[in-house]
């Protein structure tokens, strides 16, 4: 498969990657009672190696990705790039009569060898600066707040960027995976190499996790997710430009810069870019451009065509993409966007689609299928689709959604453009993306080869503790974090909807400011909570995986994941709710000792072990009392859901006897002496009837 790296100078439309910029990180802790983590990082961009030109150099990867591996790289041809920019430029001049110089395009092809050398250099330099970091942090460990940051900057201390590293019954449209199950690992301790440190008696001595993670500053932002290309240099239609400006976007993000020319050229694109780096605008903006150039064929037609179909795996994400489209469409009065999602009234959606312009339809797969099967004239409207977008493509193409997606793909025209976007593109997705895309599609990645898929400004830690300690440790971490950051905004991810409910209940009883969101909530409650959390500070959102992907809550300070994430990708997406748009963030993964095997899947990520927190007697007592106050029904439901979730895990669900023992631990962690009884039918469905230790009813 052809793979090229490009360095493109003096080109107003092509993406830049951060490697070329020399980046100076500044770490800053608000509170470092216990530790030595760089808690705050500032990365300053400066001209890269070709600074003589005063421009940063751009590197990115475009692979010609024939599914059969025999395609050709698109941008190998400078002239193609030049043609695109020149065409766009003349179009713009025609549209608004502005004078414009013909852009100079000089593209230089770099090979992947150079890229990987650069990655190695990054890692090496990150290692060198580690010591400097801890000295620096030690020196300012007693200072807090912005004052400390200012002082540290004033002192001229140079610190590196935070160390660089990184059943299937699907409850559809809620992003939660209820999983089938399997083997309890004989030896749960992974062979930690790379960044995942082994647990030792030395490094797990008591400490305060929040301090370990450090504090954040809302003023610290890393701009390396942005390119140097301004939207107003990009020859977009004047109406789109007005919308972009009003949305507050000035420069394109890397993924926007990389994909815009390809999409406008009509290519199918599979794009991978880190979380929170503007993928939604990356597909919406060119889609709007395409629609705005379509002839107004549909005027007066009873059922006008849908031209762009965007599919999202969760309702929240679909609503968010719709809101983003509305922002961009502000000055395109004749183009309309609508969402069709589960949990709302189908008839209302039908009326809405009939009465209002709907060239862009954003949908969750189940509801879309419903409209395909039951809404009169809907299929004929879909025959106008020019662009199909799969947001969170890897999720949509996995087994849970695959059938629905295949049906939808069969309904839209073959002659269309397809765009697949995600922060994670596992190899399997590369293998199967031909289901949706043309063979000669382009693969664009703004994640440097050899670098992590997570953000370096997000501090990642894991904590291994027995289940009966999880609630008190969670409470402890939250208390510490709240004390340190008045603007705290935390998401606590739990394994299932009912476990989410339980954890939210416990934390509420502990008088923390908590909201819960999961599939068992009504859609109106989900939307209300989601909107509130988006706007708020000083709030904890306890969530199932409905919030794991794509949801853009600004300024999340900490993401805590309790229990085994569904997979590596889900870990990355959940973590990606913090550290968005270059902001700093922190992540904590809490696992039981028998869940430790998960760490092998993320050993290439910069995740380090946290010390076991020292929880005092008072905290333990408070948690016990809170547990006593939680409704027994919620505990029963959580127990059953917990059992179902781990039963579906390939490793843990394999040994049913051991699984039931672990479920007993979970039941005890809720303060129960006996595990709750489970309906016989459900036990049978889970393949757990007659397993000793379970109570049937």
Q: Per CB under 6 A, does 252 bind ligand ATP?
A: yes
CB of 492 to ligand ATP, least distance (A): 18
* DSSP classification of residue 414: S
Question: Based on CB atoms, which residue is closest to ligand ATP, 514 or 548?
Answer: 548
CA dihedral for 150, 156, 160, 161, sign (positive or negative): positive
User: Quick one: which of 229, 253, 417, 578 contacts ligand ATP (CB under 6 A)?
Assistant: 253
Which segment (246-254, 405-413, 539-547, 584-592) binds ligand ATP by CB under 6 A? 246-254
Q: Per CB under 6 A, does 581 bind ligand ATP?
A: yes
User: Quick one: which of 281, 444, 477, 643 contacts ligand ATP (CB under 6 A)?
Assistant: 281
Structure tokens at 664: 């007993």
Q: Per CB under 6 A, does 454 bind ligand ATP?
A: no
Count CB neighbours of 581 within 10 A: 16
Question: Based on CB atoms, which residue is closest to ligand ATP, 245 or 528?
Answer: 245
CB of 480 to ligand ATP, least distance (A): 26
Q: How far apart are the first and last CA of the chain?
A: 57
User: Quick one: which of 243, 276, 304, 343 contacts ligand ATP (CB under 6 A)?
Assistant: 276
CB of 139 to ligand ATP, least distance (A): 34
Give the DSSP H or E segment for 85.
helix 78-96
Structure tokens at 502: 């339980």
DSSP states along 241-307: HHHHHHHT--EEEHHHHHHHHHHHTT--EEEE--TTS-HHHHHHHHHHHHHHTS--TTTT-SSPPP-
Instruction: Tell me which residues in 546-575 interact with ligand ATP (CB under 6 A).
Output: 550, 552
Structure tokens at 688: 């757990």
Percent of the chain that is helix, strand, coil (3-state, to 5): 40, 15, 40
Question: Based on CB atoms, which residue is closest to ligand ATP, 73 or 277?
Answer: 277
Cα dihedral 366, 369, 375, 381 in deg (nearest 10): 120
Residues 90, 92: Cα–Cα separation, whole Å: 5
CB of 285 to ligand ATP, least distance (A): 9
Question: Based on CB atoms, which residue is closest to ligand ATP, 6 or 249?
Answer: 249
Q: Per CB under 6 A, does 18 bind ligand ATP?
A: no
Count CB neighbours of 483 within 10 A: 14
CB of 135 to ligand ATP, least distance (A): 34
Question: Based on CB atoms, which residue is closest to ligand ATP, 278 or 676?
Answer: 278
Question: Based on CB atoms, which residue is closest to ligand ATP, 249 or 666?
Answer: 249
Question: Based on CB atoms, which residue is closest to ligand ATP, 581 or 658?
Answer: 581
DSSP states along 292-356: HTS--TTTT-SSPPP-EEEE-SSHHHHHHHHHHHHHHTTT-TT--EEEE-TTS-HHHHHHHHHHS
Q: Per CB under 6 A, does 523 bind ligand ATP?
A: no
Distance of CA 423 to the CA centre of its chain: 6
Instruction: Tell me which residues in 369-408 interact with ligand ATP (CB under 6 A).
Output: none
Question: Based on CB atoms, which residue is closest to ligand ATP, 233 or 581?
Answer: 581
CB of 527 to ligand ATP, least distance (A): 17
CB of 257 to ligand ATP, least distance (A): 9
Task: List residues near ligand ATP by CB under 6 A.
Answer: 249, 251-253, 256, 273, 275-281, 423, 550, 552, 576, 580-581
């Amino acid at each position: 498969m052809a793979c090229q790296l490009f360095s493109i100078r003096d080109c107003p439309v092509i993406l830049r990657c951060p490697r070329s910029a020399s980046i100076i990180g500044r770490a800053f802790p608000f509170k470092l009672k216990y530790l030595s983590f760089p808690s705050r990082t500032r990365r300053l961009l400066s001209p890269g190696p070709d600074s003589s030109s005063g421009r940063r150099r751009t590197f990115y990867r475009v692979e010609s990705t024939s599914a059969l591996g025999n395609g050709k790289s698109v941008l190998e041809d400078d002239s193609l790039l030049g043609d695109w920019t020149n065409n766009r430029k003349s179009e713009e001049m025609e549209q608004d009569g502005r004078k414009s110089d013909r852009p100079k395009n000089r593209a230089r092809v770099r090979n992947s060898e150079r890229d990987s050398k650069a990655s190695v250099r990054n890692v090496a330099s990150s290692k060198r600066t580690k010591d400097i970091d801890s000295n620096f942090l030690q020196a300012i460990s007693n200072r807090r707040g912005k004052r400390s940051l200012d002082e540290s900057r004033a002192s001229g201390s140079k610190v590196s960027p935070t160390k660089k590293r990184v059943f299937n019954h699907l409850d559809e449209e809620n992003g939660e995976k209820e999983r089938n199950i399997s083997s309890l690992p004989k030896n749960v301790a992974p062979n930690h190499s790379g960044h995942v440190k082994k647990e030792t008696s030395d490094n797990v001595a008591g400490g305060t996790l929040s301090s370990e993670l450090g504090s954040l500053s809302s003023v610290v932002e890393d701009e390396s997710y942005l390119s140097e290309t301004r939207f107003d240099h990009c020859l977009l239609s004047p109406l789109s430009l007005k919308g972009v400006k009003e949305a507050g976007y000035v420069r394109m993000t890397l993924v926007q810069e990389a994909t815009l020319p390809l999409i406008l050229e009509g290519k199918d694109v599979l794009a991978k870019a880190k979380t929170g780096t503007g993928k939604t605008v990356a597909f919406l903006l060119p889609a709007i451009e395409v629609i705005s150039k379509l002839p107004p064929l549909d005027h007066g037609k009873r059922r006008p065509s849908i031209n762009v179909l965007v599919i999202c795996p969760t309702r929240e994400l679909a609503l968010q993409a719709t809101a983003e489209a509305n922002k961009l469409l502000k000055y395109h009065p004749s183009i309309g966007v609508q969402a069709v999602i589960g949990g709302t009234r189908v008839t209302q959606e039908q009326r809405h689609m009939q009465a209002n312009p709907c060239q862009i339809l954003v949908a969750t797969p189940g509801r879309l299928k419903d409209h395909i099967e039951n809404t009169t004239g809907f299929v004929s409207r879909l025959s106008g689709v020019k662009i199909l977008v799969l947001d969170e493509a890897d999720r949509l193409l996995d087994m849970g959604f695959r059938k629905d997606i295949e049906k939808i793909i069969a309904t839209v025209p073959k002659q269309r453009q397809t765009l697949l976007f995600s922060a994670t593109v596992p190899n399997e997705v590369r293998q199967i993306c031909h289901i949706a895309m043309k063979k000669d599609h382009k693969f664009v990645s703004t994640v440097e080869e050899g670098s992590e898929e997570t953000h370096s400004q997000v501090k990642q830690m894991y904590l291994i503790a027995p289940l009966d300690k999880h609630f008190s440790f969670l409470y402890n971490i939250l208390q510490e974090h709240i004390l340190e950051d008045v603007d705290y905004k935390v998401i606590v991810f739990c394994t299932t909807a009912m476990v989410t409910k339980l954890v939210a209940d416990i934390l509420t009883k502990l008088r923390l400011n908590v909201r819960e969101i999961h599939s068992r909530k009504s859609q109106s409650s989900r939307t209300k909570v989601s909107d509130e959390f988006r706007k708020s500070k000083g709030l904890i959102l306890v969530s199932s995986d409905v919030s794991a992907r794509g949801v853009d809550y600004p300024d999340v300070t900490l993401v805590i994941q309790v229990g085994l994430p569904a997979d590596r990708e889900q870990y990355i997406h959940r973590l990606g709710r913090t550290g968005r748009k270059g902001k700093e963030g922190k992540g904590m993964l809490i696992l039981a000792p028998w869940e430790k095997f998960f760490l092998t899947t993320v050993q290439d990520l910069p995740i380090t072990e946290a010390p076991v927190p020292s929880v005092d007697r008072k905290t333990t007592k408070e948690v016990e009392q809170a547990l006593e106050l939680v409704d027994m029904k919620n505990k029963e439901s959580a127990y059953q859901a917990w059992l179902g979730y781990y039963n579906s895990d390939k490793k843990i669900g394999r040994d049913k006897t051991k699984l039931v023992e672990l479920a007993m631990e979970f039941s005890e962690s809720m303060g129960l002496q006996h595990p709750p009884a489970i309906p016989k039918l459900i036990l049978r469905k889970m393949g757990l009837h007659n397993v000793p230790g379970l109570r049937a009813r």
